[in-house]
Amino acid sequence: MKAFGLTIETQFHEKILLYRDLLDVLEQEKKSITEIDIESLWEISEKKQRIASKIENIRKKIVHTLKDSSPSPDVDEDRFELSRIMSVVPSEIAERLKKAHVTLVSLKNNIQVLLSENKRFVGEYLNVLDELIGIITDSGKPNQVYGKDRYAGRLAAPMFLHREV
């Protein structure tokens, strides 16, 4: 039972390290978004995919370890609970797993906050770009004012902005 507990604990710590790596990558992403570094964003996207894949593999390892060592074989692969793990490991390992779990929850919350911020930044930048493109594409075409093909005045040169008074 102790070997099982140590294996689970090791896997939890691997998961914590991967979540910390993901948090670091999200910080890099935030910086790249604010600097509008598209090349770096592509690299960061690949890093996030690799880390997410590793996290999923660790999760599968934990579930597999639980299935192999748990007295009850009804471990759900889609979701497993810490309380089930705590019931089958020695108490000293259970305490360390609780601390590891608290660390994981904290990291997940921090990641969620960064994801929301990054998503908001991207949305704001896309809105700005959309507005700029709208201004550029409408330049030199004043809006119709008096009727078909009649404008308030003739334009001597293309205009970026048009305002009717």
Confidence at residue 148, expressed as pLDDT on a 0 to 100 scale: 59
Give the pLDDT score at 165. 47
**Main-chain phi, psi angles of 147, to 5 degrees:** 160, -170
CB 4 within 8 A of CB 69: yes
Check residue 144 and give its pLDDT.
54
Mean pLDDT per 10-residue run, the chain (165 residues)? 82 95 96 91 95 95 81 59 77 89 95 94 86 76 54 52 53
The pLDDT of residue 100 is 92
Count of other CB atoms within 10 angstroms of residue 85: 24
Give the count of alpha carbons within 13 A of 155, CB side only.
16
Could you tell me which CATH number the domain at 2-137 has?
Answer: 1.20.58.300
